[in-house]
Amino acid sequence: MQRDPVCQMDVDEQTAAGQSTYQGKTFYFCSPGCREAFDKDPGQYVPKETDLLGRKTPSSQ
């Protein structure tokens, strides 16, 4: 199971309504609407990885 990054619903990868890849990671969605919202602005739904000073960590650059 994966979590839909838009609505936070648990989604089975085998039966997901859609999927999208962002920064090398595949995200799964419960509905086409959630996938469309994600594709418009993925950065809004993917947490930014930062250190304690707010700098981007090497894995997120």
Q: How many residues does the chain have?
A: 61
Q: Model pTM?
A: 0.76
CA angle 16, 19, 20 (to 5 degrees): 165
4 — phi, psi (to 5°)?
A: -65, 120
pLDDT at 61: 46
The rounded distance, in Å, linking the Cα atoms of 47 and 35 is 17
One-letter identity of residue 2: Q
Look-up of token digits 């039966």: 15
Ordered per-residue pLDDT tens for the chain, 61 residues:
999 999 999 999 999 999 999 988 999 999 999 999 999 999 899 877 655 566 666 554 4
